[in-house]
Chains A and B, each alone.
Chain A
C-alpha cells in the first residue's frame, strides 16, 4: 500500500512538472491580455526563450545567467510586438502570428550550432526529503526552483490584479483605454509594460523546457505548448487560479493517458490522446459558467487598437 501511495505521489510530481511551462506562459499572457493586448506570439517567445537559455548555458556554463538571459530575450522579442502594435498601431492578431513564425525560424537559425549538445543538470531542491517521505515527498520536494515559482505565480498574479493599484490600472486600461487615458493614465506605457512582462514569462517557460524538462536544444521543441497556454487563458476566463487548474488538468491527463496505455487498458488510443484537450475545455467551461464573473474578468478592449485622441 505504501508503495502504491508513493507511486501516486511520483505521478502527481510528474504532472506538476509537465504543467510548469503552461502556467508560466499563460500567467504572463494573462497580464498582457488583461491590459487589452492580444499577443498570439506566445509560442514564438517561448521558443526564443528556450534557445537563448540553452545557448547561454552552453556558452557561460552558468544556469543562473541562462535563466535570466532567457527572460531578457523573451522580453526583447516582445518589444518588437510592442513597437508594432502600440507605436505603429498594427493589428494584434496578425502581428502576433508573425511573431510566432519569426520566433520559430529565428530560434532554428540560432540553434543550428547548439544541436546535439547534452544539457547540464539543473539543481533540484530538497532531493533528500523527496526520497524519504512517502507520497508527499515526491509531490512537494525534489523540484527545480522554477517549479515552485510557477506554482506561486497564479496566486501572486491574482493578488496583483485584484488588490494592488497597478493591477487596477492594468484592468482599467484593458476594459476601457479611452476612459483610462482620460484619467491621465498613459495607456501605451501600461500596455508596453504588460507586453514585456508577458514576453519575459514566455521566455522563462521556454527556458524551463530546454534547461530542465528536456535539457537539450531541439528545433521546435515547444511543440505547440504556447498555443495551449493561449487557449488556457481564454478558457480560464482570464482568471489566474483557473489557469493553474487548467494547466494541471491538461498536464495530468496527458501523463495519465500514457500510463493507461502502458498498463494496457483497452481504450482506443486516439481517444486517450485527445482526452487532455477535451477534458481541459470541459472542466474550464463548467467551472467558468458564471456569466457575471466572465463579464467582470474579460478585458473588454482585448485586441483592439487604441488611438489616442489628440
Chain B
C-alpha cells in the first residue's frame, strides 16, 4: 500500500516535470545524415544549428542517422520528446518526415532538399546548388587540359543530376570538347570509397575532380595527384591548398534562425524555399589565384549575373543525351523541371543508374 502510494507520487512528479518542461521551453531538433565532424554537408547544418542556439533557442541534434527505417524512429523520438520544430537534413528523410508529421500535427517539420509536403506542418527547403555548379563548370572547362572532368556522384536523385547537368552545360559553353565522366559511389559519406573513386577518375584521364559527396577525401587525392578540385558544402581549402579552385558553401544559418524564431512566435507557415546565390544560401569560397586573375574576374562576373538573375544555369537550347530538346532556345528551365530532373544533358557519358 505504502509502496503503491510512493509509486503514484513519483509518477505524478515525473509527469509534471515532463509536461512542465514541454510547455516552458521551445526546443528545436535536428537530424543529420553524417557526423557533425564531416567538414562538409552535416558540418554546415550544424553551424546553422549553432546559430539558432546563439539566438537563444534550445536545440538538440542526432547525428549519423541512416536514411530509412532508423530515420523514422529518430524523428518520432524527437517529436515525442517535446521538440516543437524538427529539421531533417537529408533527401532520404523525405518519407519518414511526412509519416511522422501526420502523427504529430502540433510539431513543425522542415525537410531539406525534398519535394513532399503531404501535411500542413511540413515545409521543405533547399539551396540552388546548381548555380554554384555552373561556376565550377566554367572554371573546369577553362582549366582542363585533358578535356575530361571527373565527377563523384552519390545517389541518382534530381539534386545530384541537376548538379552534373549544370556543370556540364557551363563547361561546354567555354570548352565544347569536354567530357564528364561520372562514378557513382552510392554513399554520402565514406572517405575511403570517395578517395578510391577520385583516384579511378584521375587514372582515367580526368584532371579536374568534383564531388557530390561529403568528405574531404577526394580533394586530398586531387592535391596529391596534382589535379584541380572543388570543395563541397564547406570551405575545404586547407585540405588541398594548391588543388582547390573554390568550394561551394551551404549557408543554412539565416534560414534556420528565421524559421526557428517564426515557429517560436507562432508565425510559422508551410512553405517551399529554394534559395541560391542571390539570398546567400549558396556562397562561394575565395577563388584560387592559381587560375589567373582574368578567369577569376570572369567567374566573379558570372557569379554576379547568376545572383541577379541576368544569367540562368539552364538556358536553352538544352538537349538530352539522345539529342531531344529539353529547353527551347531563348527560354530557361522552370523550377518544376529542375526539381524533377532525371535525364542527363548531351555531353555526359553513361546512363543514370535506375
Contacts and interface: CB of A to CB of B under 8 A. Distances in A.
B38 A219 contact: yes
Interface string A103-116: 00000100110011
Contact of B354 (A108, A115, A119, A268): A268
B181 A262 contact: yes
A111 B196 CA distance: 23
A18 to B, nearest CB: 6
A255 B200 contact: yes
5 contacts: A18-B196, A118-B239, A213-B195, A259-B204, A273-B185
Given A209-B192, A255-B196, A258-B197, 18 more contacts: A14-B196, A18-B192, A213-B192, A214-B192, A214-B217, A216-B220, A218-B38, A218-B39, A219-B37, A259-B203, A262-B150, A262-B181, A264-B181, A264-B349, A266-B351, A268-B353, A269-B184, A273-B186
A183 interface: no
B64 to A, nearest CB: 7
A266 B199 CA distance: 21
Contacts of B354: 268
A224 to B, nearest CB: 8
Nearest to A117: B238
A112 to B, nearest CB: 7
B195 to A, nearest CB: 5
A214 B190 CA distance: 11
A268 B351 CA distance: 9
A59 interface: no
B201 interface: yes
A254 interface: yes
A223 B190 contact: yes
A303 interface: no
Contact of B37 (A111, A118, A263, A268): A111
Contacts of A273: 184-186
B interface bracket (residues with beta carbon within 8 Å of A): 35 or more
A142 interface: no
B126 interface: no
Contacts of B190: 223
B89 interface: no
Nearest to B203: A10
A116 B217 CA distance: 11
B182 to A, nearest CB: 7
Interface in B53-97: 64
Contact of A115 (B39, B192, B204, B350): B39
A69 to B, nearest CB: 21
Given A10-B203, A264-B350, A258 B196 contact: yes
Contacts of B297: none
B354 to A, nearest CB: 7
B203 A221 contact: no
A212 to B, nearest CB: 11
Contacts of A215: 220
Interface in A192-221: 209, 213-221
Interface in A208-267: 209, 213-221, 223, 225, 254-255, 258-259, 261-264, 266
A203 to B, nearest CB: 17
Interface in B213-238: 215-217, 220, 238
Contacts of B201: 258, 262
Contacts of A255: 196, 199-200
Nearest to B217: A214
A14, A111, A112, A258: most-surrounded residue (chain B CB, <10 A): A258
A11 interface: yes
Interface residues of A, number: 37
Contacts of A209: 192
B214 to A, nearest CB: 9
Given A218-B39, A219-B64, A270-B186, A116 B238 contact: yes
B183 interface: yes
Given A262-B150, A268-B353, A214 B191 contact: yes
Nearest to A269: B353
A261 B182 contact: yes
Nearest to A217: B37
A218 B193 contact: no
Contacts of B349: 264
B192 A262 contact: no
B60 to A, nearest CB: 17
- Would you list the 8 A-B pairs with minimal beta carbon distance, nearest first? A219-B35, A258-B200, A115-B37, A269-B353, A262-B204, A264-B350, A264-B349, A214-B191
Interface in B22-44: 34-39
Contacts of A263: 204
A270 B239 CA distance: 31
A261 B192 contact: no
Specify which of B150, B196, B220 lies most central, judged by the most chain A CB atoms within 10 Å of its CB: B196
A155 interface: no
A263 to B, nearest CB: 6
Interface in B321-354: 349-351, 353-354
A116 B353 CA distance: 33
